[in-house]
Structure 1
Protein backbone atom coordinates (compact mmCIF):
# COMPACT_ATOMS: atom_id res chain seq x y z
CA UNK A 1 0.00 0.00 0.00
CA UNK A 2 2.87 2.36 0.74
CA UNK A 3 4.24 1.72 -2.73
CA UNK A 4 0.96 2.78 -4.35
CA UNK A 5 0.82 5.92 -2.18
CA UNK A 6 4.40 6.85 -3.06
CA UNK A 7 3.69 6.26 -6.76
CA UNK A 8 0.58 8.45 -6.55
CA UNK A 9 2.50 11.25 -4.82
CA UNK A 10 5.25 11.05 -7.43
CA UNK A 11 2.73 11.03 -10.30
CA UNK A 12 0.83 14.01 -8.88
CA UNK A 13 4.07 16.00 -8.60
CA UNK A 14 5.08 15.09 -12.17
CA UNK A 15 1.78 15.33 -13.99
CA UNK A 16 1.58 16.90 -17.42
CA UNK A 17 -1.31 17.49 -19.79
CA UNK A 18 0.19 15.37 -22.63
CA UNK A 19 0.36 12.35 -20.31
CA UNK A 20 -3.30 12.83 -19.41
CA UNK A 21 -4.16 13.11 -23.10
CA UNK A 22 -2.29 9.87 -23.79
CA UNK A 23 -4.25 8.18 -20.97
CA UNK A 24 -7.51 9.43 -22.47
CA UNK A 25 -6.47 8.27 -25.94
CA UNK A 26 -5.57 4.82 -24.57
CA UNK A 27 -8.96 4.55 -22.90
CA UNK A 28 -10.75 5.72 -26.04
CA UNK A 29 -8.85 3.17 -28.14
CA UNK A 30 -9.73 0.34 -25.76
CA UNK A 31 -13.37 1.47 -25.71
CA UNK A 32 -13.39 1.54 -29.54
CA UNK A 33 -11.91 -1.97 -29.68
CA UNK A 34 -14.62 -3.15 -27.28
CA UNK A 35 -17.29 -1.70 -29.57
CA UNK A 36 -15.62 -3.31 -32.57
CA UNK A 37 -15.57 -6.73 -30.89
CA UNK A 38 -19.20 -6.41 -29.81
CA UNK A 39 -20.29 -5.36 -33.28
CA UNK A 40 -18.37 -8.09 -35.05
CA UNK A 41 -17.84 -11.10 -32.81
CA UNK A 42 -16.80 -13.25 -35.77
CA UNK A 43 -13.51 -11.33 -35.96
CA UNK A 44 -12.84 -12.15 -32.32
CA UNK A 45 -13.77 -15.80 -32.86
CA UNK A 46 -11.40 -15.98 -35.86
CA UNK A 47 -8.61 -14.47 -33.76
CA UNK A 48 -9.17 -17.07 -31.08
CA UNK A 49 -8.92 -20.16 -33.31
CA UNK A 50 -6.36 -21.80 -30.96
CA UNK A 51 -9.07 -21.98 -28.28
CA UNK A 52 -11.41 -24.28 -30.18
CA UNK A 53 -13.67 -25.34 -27.32
CA UNK A 54 -17.05 -23.63 -27.26
CA UNK A 55 -16.80 -22.82 -23.57
CA UNK A 56 -13.42 -21.14 -24.12
CA UNK A 57 -14.82 -18.97 -26.91
CA UNK A 58 -17.90 -17.97 -24.93
CA UNK A 59 -15.90 -17.07 -21.84
CA UNK A 60 -13.32 -15.10 -23.77
CA UNK A 61 -15.91 -13.24 -25.87
CA UNK A 62 -17.89 -12.33 -22.78
CA UNK A 63 -14.72 -11.09 -21.07
CA UNK A 64 -12.90 -9.22 -23.83
CA UNK A 65 -15.60 -6.86 -25.09
CA UNK A 66 -17.01 -5.79 -21.69
CA UNK A 67 -13.51 -5.45 -20.21
CA UNK A 68 -12.52 -3.14 -23.07
CA UNK A 69 -15.76 -1.15 -22.86
CA UNK A 70 -15.85 -0.66 -19.11
CA UNK A 71 -12.08 -0.47 -18.68
CA UNK A 72 -11.76 2.03 -21.53
CA UNK A 73 -14.36 4.32 -19.96
CA UNK A 74 -12.72 4.09 -16.55
CA UNK A 75 -9.30 4.86 -18.04
CA UNK A 76 -10.71 7.85 -19.97
CA UNK A 77 -12.10 9.37 -16.77
CA UNK A 78 -9.13 8.30 -14.67
CA UNK A 79 -11.26 6.30 -12.28
CA UNK A 80 -9.71 3.10 -10.88
CA UNK A 81 -7.10 3.32 -13.62
CA UNK A 82 -4.69 0.76 -12.21
CA UNK A 83 -7.46 -1.79 -11.59
CA UNK A 84 -8.81 -1.24 -15.10
CA UNK A 85 -5.39 -1.80 -16.60
CA UNK A 86 -4.85 -4.93 -14.53
CA UNK A 87 -8.09 -6.27 -16.05
CA UNK A 88 -6.85 -5.30 -19.53
CA UNK A 89 -3.37 -6.80 -19.30
CA UNK A 90 -4.31 -10.45 -20.01
CA UNK A 91 -6.23 -9.34 -23.09
CA UNK A 92 -3.44 -7.09 -24.35
CA UNK A 93 -0.75 -9.70 -23.71
CA UNK A 94 -2.93 -12.21 -25.56
CA UNK A 95 -3.24 -9.77 -28.46
CA UNK A 96 0.55 -9.43 -28.65
CA UNK A 97 0.99 -13.21 -28.57
CA UNK A 98 -1.71 -13.82 -31.19
CA UNK A 99 -0.32 -11.14 -33.52
CA UNK A 100 3.27 -12.29 -32.98
CA UNK A 101 2.58 -15.94 -33.65
CA UNK A 102 -0.12 -15.67 -36.27
CA UNK A 103 -0.05 -14.50 -39.84
CA UNK A 104 -1.46 -11.13 -38.84
CA UNK A 105 -0.04 -7.98 -40.34
CA UNK A 106 2.76 -6.14 -38.59
CA UNK A 107 0.69 -3.01 -37.96
CA UNK A 108 -1.63 -4.95 -35.61
CA UNK A 109 1.41 -6.27 -33.77
CA UNK A 110 2.84 -2.76 -33.47
CA UNK A 111 -0.46 -1.41 -32.15
CA UNK A 112 -0.69 -4.25 -29.62
CA UNK A 113 2.85 -3.64 -28.40
CA UNK A 114 2.26 0.12 -28.10
CA UNK A 115 -0.95 -0.47 -26.12
CA UNK A 116 0.91 -2.95 -23.88
CA UNK A 117 3.72 -0.44 -23.22
CA UNK A 118 1.24 2.35 -22.49
CA UNK A 119 -0.75 0.07 -20.20
CA UNK A 120 2.35 -0.83 -18.21
CA UNK A 121 3.26 2.88 -18.06
CA UNK A 122 -0.14 3.82 -16.63
CA UNK A 123 -0.10 0.81 -14.32
CA UNK A 124 2.99 2.36 -12.75
CA UNK A 125 2.08 6.04 -13.22
CA UNK A 126 -1.58 5.85 -12.25
CA UNK A 127 -4.28 8.23 -13.38
CA UNK A 128 -2.48 11.48 -12.64
CA UNK A 129 -3.67 14.79 -11.27
CA UNK A 130 -6.39 15.47 -13.83
CA UNK A 131 -8.55 12.46 -13.10
CA UNK A 132 -11.61 11.37 -11.20
CA UNK A 133 -9.41 9.50 -8.73
CA UNK A 134 -7.58 12.71 -7.81
CA UNK A 135 -10.83 14.68 -7.67
CA UNK A 136 -12.49 12.20 -5.31
CA UNK A 137 -9.37 11.97 -3.18
CA UNK A 138 -9.36 15.75 -2.73
CA UNK A 139 -13.04 15.76 -1.71
CA UNK A 140 -12.26 13.94 1.54
Structure 2
Protein backbone atom coordinates (compact mmCIF):
# COMPACT_ATOMS: atom_id res chain seq x y z
CA UNK A 1 0.00 0.00 0.00
CA UNK A 2 1.39 3.38 -0.94
CA UNK A 3 2.03 6.06 1.64
CA UNK A 4 -0.66 8.30 0.13
CA UNK A 5 -3.25 5.55 0.47
CA UNK A 6 -2.22 5.02 4.10
CA UNK A 7 -2.62 8.74 4.79
CA UNK A 8 -5.96 8.73 2.97
CA UNK A 9 -7.24 5.79 5.03
CA UNK A 10 -6.03 7.32 8.29
CA UNK A 11 -7.59 10.67 7.41
CA UNK A 12 -10.95 9.15 6.53
CA UNK A 13 -11.06 7.27 9.86
CA UNK A 14 -9.95 10.20 12.03
CA UNK A 15 -11.52 13.15 10.23
CA UNK A 16 -13.21 15.59 12.63
CA UNK A 17 -16.51 16.89 11.25
CA UNK A 18 -15.83 20.45 12.42
CA UNK A 19 -12.76 20.54 10.15
CA UNK A 20 -15.09 20.79 7.16
CA UNK A 21 -16.26 24.16 8.45
CA UNK A 22 -12.63 25.24 8.83
CA UNK A 23 -11.97 24.16 5.21
CA UNK A 24 -15.02 26.06 3.98
CA UNK A 25 -14.12 29.16 5.99
CA UNK A 26 -10.52 29.12 4.83
CA UNK A 27 -11.69 28.71 1.25
CA UNK A 28 -13.97 31.74 1.57
CA UNK A 29 -11.12 33.67 3.23
CA UNK A 30 -8.70 32.89 0.38
CA UNK A 31 -11.41 33.70 -2.18
CA UNK A 32 -11.90 37.12 -0.57
CA UNK A 33 -8.12 37.61 -0.19
CA UNK A 34 -7.77 37.16 -3.95
CA UNK A 35 -10.09 40.10 -4.53
CA UNK A 36 -8.25 42.13 -1.89
CA UNK A 37 -4.95 41.49 -3.69
CA UNK A 38 -6.56 42.61 -6.96
CA UNK A 39 -7.88 45.77 -5.32
CA UNK A 40 -4.42 46.61 -3.92
CA UNK A 41 -2.51 45.64 -7.04
CA UNK A 42 -0.37 48.80 -7.07
CA UNK A 43 1.00 48.20 -3.56
CA UNK A 44 1.78 44.55 -4.28
CA UNK A 45 3.43 45.47 -7.60
CA UNK A 46 5.62 48.01 -5.80
CA UNK A 47 6.61 45.37 -3.25
CA UNK A 48 7.57 42.87 -5.96
CA UNK A 49 9.44 45.53 -7.94
CA UNK A 50 11.40 46.50 -4.80
CA UNK A 51 12.40 42.88 -4.28
CA UNK A 52 13.63 42.80 -7.87
CA UNK A 53 15.60 46.04 -7.38
CA UNK A 54 17.16 44.79 -4.17
CA UNK A 55 18.05 41.59 -5.93
CA UNK A 56 20.24 43.59 -8.29
CA UNK A 57 19.39 41.25 -11.13
CA UNK A 58 18.34 42.33 -14.55
CA UNK A 59 15.58 39.76 -14.70
CA UNK A 60 12.43 41.62 -15.57
CA UNK A 61 9.73 40.07 -13.45
CA UNK A 62 6.36 40.98 -14.72
CA UNK A 63 4.97 42.23 -11.42
CA UNK A 64 1.49 42.69 -12.85
CA UNK A 65 1.41 39.14 -14.19
CA UNK A 66 2.70 37.72 -10.91
CA UNK A 67 0.16 39.65 -8.83
CA UNK A 68 -2.68 38.58 -11.08
CA UNK A 69 -1.49 34.97 -10.95
CA UNK A 70 -1.44 35.09 -7.13
CA UNK A 71 -4.87 36.72 -6.97
CA UNK A 72 -6.52 34.30 -9.38
CA UNK A 73 -4.93 31.28 -7.67
CA UNK A 74 -6.45 32.57 -4.41
CA UNK A 75 -9.85 33.15 -6.02
CA UNK A 76 -10.09 29.84 -7.88
CA UNK A 77 -8.34 27.79 -5.20
CA UNK A 78 -10.42 29.36 -2.44
CA UNK A 79 -13.63 28.60 -4.29
CA UNK A 80 -12.54 25.00 -4.89
CA UNK A 81 -11.57 24.63 -1.23
CA UNK A 82 -14.86 26.08 -0.01
CA UNK A 83 -16.91 23.53 -1.94
CA UNK A 84 -14.36 20.72 -1.55
CA UNK A 85 -13.63 20.17 -5.23
CA UNK A 86 -10.13 18.84 -6.03
CA UNK A 87 -9.14 20.21 -2.66
CA UNK A 88 -5.60 18.85 -2.47
CA UNK A 89 -4.71 20.26 -5.88
CA UNK A 90 -6.13 23.66 -4.91
CA UNK A 91 -4.11 23.56 -1.68
CA UNK A 92 -0.99 22.46 -3.58
CA UNK A 93 -1.06 25.72 -5.56
CA UNK A 94 -1.80 27.82 -2.46
CA UNK A 95 1.10 26.57 -0.32
CA UNK A 96 3.99 28.22 -2.26
CA UNK A 97 2.14 31.54 -2.23
CA UNK A 98 1.63 31.34 1.53
CA UNK A 99 5.26 30.28 2.08
CA UNK A 100 6.30 33.46 0.26
CA UNK A 101 3.85 35.52 2.30
CA UNK A 102 5.20 34.12 5.58
CA UNK A 103 8.80 34.64 4.50
CA UNK A 104 8.45 38.17 3.11
CA UNK A 105 6.21 39.60 5.85
CA UNK A 106 8.15 38.16 8.81
CA UNK A 107 8.56 40.75 11.57
CA UNK A 108 12.14 41.66 12.42
CA UNK A 109 13.42 40.91 8.91
CA UNK A 110 14.64 43.58 6.59
CA UNK A 111 15.90 43.17 3.06
CA UNK A 112 19.35 44.35 2.15
CA UNK A 113 20.92 44.64 -1.29
CA UNK A 114 24.30 43.78 0.19
CA UNK A 115 24.63 40.05 -0.23
CA UNK A 116 27.88 38.29 0.47
CA UNK A 117 26.51 34.82 -0.21
CA UNK A 118 25.53 34.92 -3.86
CA UNK A 119 25.90 37.40 -6.67
CA UNK A 120 22.68 39.29 -7.26
CA UNK A 121 20.75 37.67 -4.41
CA UNK A 122 18.67 39.24 -1.68
CA UNK A 123 20.13 39.03 1.80
CA UNK A 124 17.58 38.80 4.59
CA UNK A 125 19.03 40.20 7.79
CA UNK A 126 17.54 40.14 11.27
CA UNK A 127 17.04 43.70 12.38
CA UNK A 128 15.99 45.18 15.66
CA UNK A 129 12.38 44.70 16.66
CA UNK A 130 10.35 47.44 15.10
CA UNK A 131 7.45 48.27 17.40
CA UNK A 132 5.70 50.23 14.67
CA UNK A 133 5.56 47.13 12.46
CA UNK A 134 2.20 45.38 12.67
CA UNK A 135 2.74 41.60 12.42
CA UNK A 136 -0.97 40.81 11.86
CA UNK A 137 -0.36 40.05 8.18
CA UNK A 138 2.45 37.64 9.13
CA UNK A 139 0.35 35.83 11.74
CA UNK A 140 -2.53 35.56 9.28
CA UNK A 141 -0.23 34.08 6.64
CA UNK A 142 1.37 31.68 9.14
CA UNK A 143 -1.95 30.38 10.51
CA UNK A 144 -3.31 30.04 6.97
CA UNK A 145 -0.21 28.09 5.93
CA UNK A 146 -0.51 25.73 8.91
CA UNK A 147 -4.19 25.12 8.13
CA UNK A 148 -3.42 24.51 4.46
CA UNK A 149 -0.75 21.94 5.28
CA UNK A 150 -3.15 20.22 7.70
CA UNK A 151 -5.89 20.11 5.08
CA UNK A 152 -3.47 18.86 2.45
CA UNK A 153 -2.68 15.90 4.69
CA UNK A 154 -6.21 15.20 5.92
CA UNK A 155 -8.18 15.84 2.73
CA UNK A 156 -11.48 17.40 1.87
CA UNK A 157 -13.79 15.66 4.32
CA UNK A 158 -17.29 14.19 4.15
CA UNK A 159 -19.10 17.41 3.19
CA UNK A 160 -17.38 18.03 -0.10
CA UNK A 161 -17.85 17.63 -3.83
CA UNK A 162 -14.90 15.21 -3.83
CA UNK A 163 -16.67 12.85 -1.42
CA UNK A 164 -19.93 13.18 -3.36
CA UNK A 165 -18.21 12.32 -6.63
CA UNK A 166 -16.43 9.39 -4.97
CA UNK A 167 -19.75 7.90 -3.80
CA UNK A 168 -21.47 8.79 -7.08
CA UNK A 169 -18.86 6.83 -9.09
CA UNK A 170 -19.25 3.78 -6.83
CA UNK A 171 -23.00 3.47 -7.55
SS of residue in 1 equivalent to 2:62: helix
Q: How many corresponding residue pairs?
A: 140
Report the Cα offset of residue 9 of structure 1. 2.3
Tell whether the 8 Å contact from 1:99 to 1:105 is kept in structure 2 after alignment.
no
**Structure 1 runs (4+) greater than 4 angstroms displaced:** none
SS of residue in 1 equivalent to 2:105: helix
Tell whether the 8 Å contact from 2:38 to 2:68 is kept in structure 1 after alignment.
no
Q: Which residue does 2:51 correspond to in 1? A: 50
CA distance in 2, matches of 1:56, 1:105: 28
Report the Cα offset of residue 112 of structure 1. 0.8
TM-score by length of 2: 0.74
TM-score by length of 1: 0.89
Gaps in structure 2 of 5+ consecutive residues: 54-58, 111-129
Give the structure with the larger helix fraction.
1
Q: Which residue does 2:125 correspond to in 1? A: none
Say which is worse superposed, 74-83 or 5-14, in terms of deviation: 5-14
Tell whether the 8 Å contact from 1:47 to 1:98 is kept in structure 2 after alignment.
no
1:120 is aligned, of 149, 153, 156, to 149
Give the structure with the larger strand fraction.
2
1:71 is aligned, of 74, 77, 82, to 77
Gaps in structure 1 of 5+ consecutive residues: none
